């Protein structure tokens, strides 16, 4: 199974904050950089996202901007 989204950054869940329908997940990448994802609480439950879990942040290339 492969997904067209070009970006897959592996890391460890640093924090999960669930609030009603939405949840904010902070993922610490290998190089001390942190990625924050806002996903539905339903997906947090379905994937069993919790502190310390290893997973990846996935991002479609057209959603990435560049800052100089």
Length of the chain: 68
Binding to a second copy by CB under 8 A, coded x per residue (else -) over 12-31, reads -----x-xxxxxxx-x-xxx
**Using rule CB under 8 A, residue 52 touches a second copy:** no
Residue 27's nearest CA partner among 51, 3, 61 is: 51
The alpha-carbon radius of gyration of the chain (Å, integer) is 12
User: 15 is written with which tokens?
Assistant: 């924090």
Of 21 and 52, nearer to a second copy (C-beta) is 21
Residues binding a second copy (CB under 8 A): 1-10, 17, 19-25, 27, 29-33, 35-40, 42-44, 46-49, 53, 55-68
């Amino acid at each position: 199974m492969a997904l067209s989204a070009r970006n897959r950054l592996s890391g460890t869940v640093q924090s999960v904050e669930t609030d009603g329908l939405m949840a904010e997940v902070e993922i610490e990448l290998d190089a001390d950089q942190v990625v924050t994802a806002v996903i539905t609480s339903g997906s947090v439950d379905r994937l069993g996202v919790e502190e310390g879990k290893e997973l990846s942040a996935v991002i479609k290339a057209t959603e990435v901007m560049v800052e100089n």
